[in-house]
Structure 1
Amino acid sequence: MRSCVNKGFYDYFREIDADLFCVQETKLQEGQIELDLGDAYQQYWNYAEKKGYSGTAVFTKVTPRSVRYGLEEESEPEGRIITLEFDSFYLVTVYTPNAKRDLSRLAYRLEWEERFRKYVLGLDAKKPVIICGDLNVAHQEIDLKNAKGNRGNSGFTEEEREKMTLLLDSGFTDSFRYLYPDRTDAYSWWSNMPGVRERNVGWRIDYFLVSSRLRPAILEARIDSHIFGSDHCPILLEMKDF
């Protein structure tokens, strides 16, 4: 986050003028940054205990009815989730654990995914849910450039993809694929290796998922791949009142 503010973050933030703005992998501790977002926005941060690691944030124009940090407990050491409750829906910003290149954290990742699914289903039983986050998985072959070469790699293992399928089958919709089921070369993350982004050798691992009953309210789901400043690019969801 500290790097992004020097690479055009404020310009994009003001241009978008979003009602709700979510950030994942802030890599911050409390007091390390003071964002000047104007009086219109309230800021909510969930910091990881480990310095320079993980972390999430939400900036909102609308005062939430309640704010929760973590899953079952009120806090969690990696700062991966913030839930804001509004009158007609919940917003969950999430940074899903990475399985690591050697898959040493895959078992933890899968267990965490199951807890997350149960958590959002509990919310969904009360009111609709909008999930915004880096889910660290390319769900289908269309969601990354080199599906064959990456099969079994972190972020494209059968186990991770199956967890995503299970979450969607539990009553959630991938807003981008709902509107654009066949769109190719639409990615939100690129490796920092030289030339990769220029050749658009990417992955779509950032999502807006919505409770499936909100499908009629989806107006637009967009990937702003022209915005630099990070190895990820911003994604946008526009909805009508529901």
Structure 2
Amino acid sequence: MINIYSWNVNGIRAAQKKGLMEWFGGIQPDILALQETKAQPEQLDEELISPAGYTALWASAQKKGYSGVSVYSREEPLKVDTLGAEEFDSEGRGLVLTFPKFTLFNCYFPNSQPEGARLDYKLDFCSFLHEAAKERVAAGENVVIVGDYNIAHKPIDLARPDQNEKNPGYLPEERAWMDSFTADGFTDTFRMFTSEGENYTWWSYRAGARPKNIGWRIDYACVNDGFAGAVKSSSIHADVMGSDHCPVSIELDL
């Protein structure tokens, strides 16, 4: 079994102060994929750069304190790539790790911003990722795409859908892309096991949203349809604190 955890930590240095590495040491996953790390490796201490038993990989934004992703992996990947598009790599939007039996995409999808200020950039990213994943599948690889998608797909995926119709993360264009993505060969693994609502991965810091569970499910672990049979569980860990997001995980039987 392979356990993969994914978490938008909203700043890896802030999360470290809130117990990130103690939590990491307690669960000891095979792979931990982080988003919104907001740091370059040279800004970090040894605990974050070289945790015992793991290879640490980084894709940082050119702008300090912004975006960025990282992966801690027990098994050293056969190959490590960024997304391969300057407009996304300059913001540290993704890492692509090739392992013997699957390829992992760890992505921090852009926020479309109020009034859709970055919606075009967001949709360009979504289309690029979709095509990149399809190319891997067409080449005979299985793919796992984890990360903060910054999209609540359906009304069940957020507490107040009617009030958020025009808000970033629930815009019609974003939901339409998610429709096309899941209709074109990719599975939202959480929905393989759980059909109920009130399962969220992000809560606003305002107005006690988390204790009241007024949240959004915007963090996903998706796989190509042909690999769905290998997924034995897909979970949300809403009890884990330290960020405005919580971790999600999948277990693969390879």
Change (3 A) 1:53 1:38: closer
Is 1:18 matched up with 2:32?
Answer: no
Aligned match of 1:97? 110
Scaled by the length of structure 2, the TM-score of the pair is: 0.91
- Measured in 2, the distance between the counterparts of 1:75 and 1:136 equals 15
The equivalent residue for 1:83 is: 96
Which of 142, 151, 161 matches 2:165? 151
Matching residue's letter, 2:172:
E
Distance of 2:127 and 2:84 partners within structure 1 = 11
Residue 210 of structure 1 is matched in structure 2 by 223
Q: 1:178 aligns with which of 187, 192, 213?
A: 192
Q: What does 1:40-51 correspond to in 2, within 5 Å? A: 40-51=53-64
- The answer on 1:201 being equivalent to 2:201 is no
Structure 1 or 2: larger helix share? 2
Which residue of the partner structure matches residue 52 of structure 1? 65
Counterparts of 1:75 and 1:146, CA distance in 2: 31
**What's 2:9 paired with?**
none
Distance in 1 between residues matched to 2:153 and 2:112, nearest whole Å: 15
Higher relative contact order (CA 8 A, sep 6+): 2
Q: Which residue of 2 aligns with 1:161?
A: 175
> Which of residues 229, 232, 239 is equivalent to 2:252?
239
Identity of aligned residues (%): 36
Q: Which residue number in structure 1 is paired with residue 17 of structure 2?
A: 6
Residue 2 of structure 1: SS of its match in structure 2? helix
Which stretch has the larger CA shift, 160-169 or 130-139? Answer: 160-169
- One-letter amino acid of the counterpart of residue 34, structure 1: D
Number of equivalences: 240
Secondary structure of the structure 1 residue equivalent to 2:206: coil
- Aligned counterpart, 2:41: 30
SS of 1:58's equivalent in the other structure is: strand
**Separation in structure 1 between the aligned mates of residue 46 and residue 223 of structure 2, nearest angstrom:** 28
Specify the SS of the correspondent of 1:132: strand
- Check the 8 A contact 1:71/1:81 in 2, yes or no: no
Aligned partner of residue 208 in structure 2, secondary structure? coil
Once the 2 structures are TM-superposed, how far is the Cα of residue 130 of structure 1 from its aligned partner? Answer: 0.3
1:25 counterpart letter in structure 2: E
Q: Which residue of 2 aligns with 1:125?
A: 138
Q: What is residue 155 of structure 2 aligned with on the other side?
A: 141
| Structure 1 counterpart of 2:76, from 39, 63, 68 | 63
Structure 1 residues 138-181: Cα deviation after superposition (integer angstroms, max 9, x where no partner): 0010000001111121000110011111111121100101111x
Q: CA deviation at 1:75?
A: 7.7
Secondary structure, counterpart of 1:102 in structure 2: helix
Q: Which amino acid aligns with 2:170?
A: F
User: Which moved further from structure 2: 35-44 or 228-237?
Assistant: 35-44
Structure 2: distance between partners of 1:95 and 1:144? 19
Distance 1:74 1:100, change over 3 A: closer
Give the conservation status (yes or no) of the 8 Å contact 1:71–1:116.
no
RMSD (Å) for aligned C-alpha atoms: 1.4
Question: Structure 2: which 5+ runs fail to align?
Answer: 1-11
Distance 1:73 1:106, change over 3 A: closer
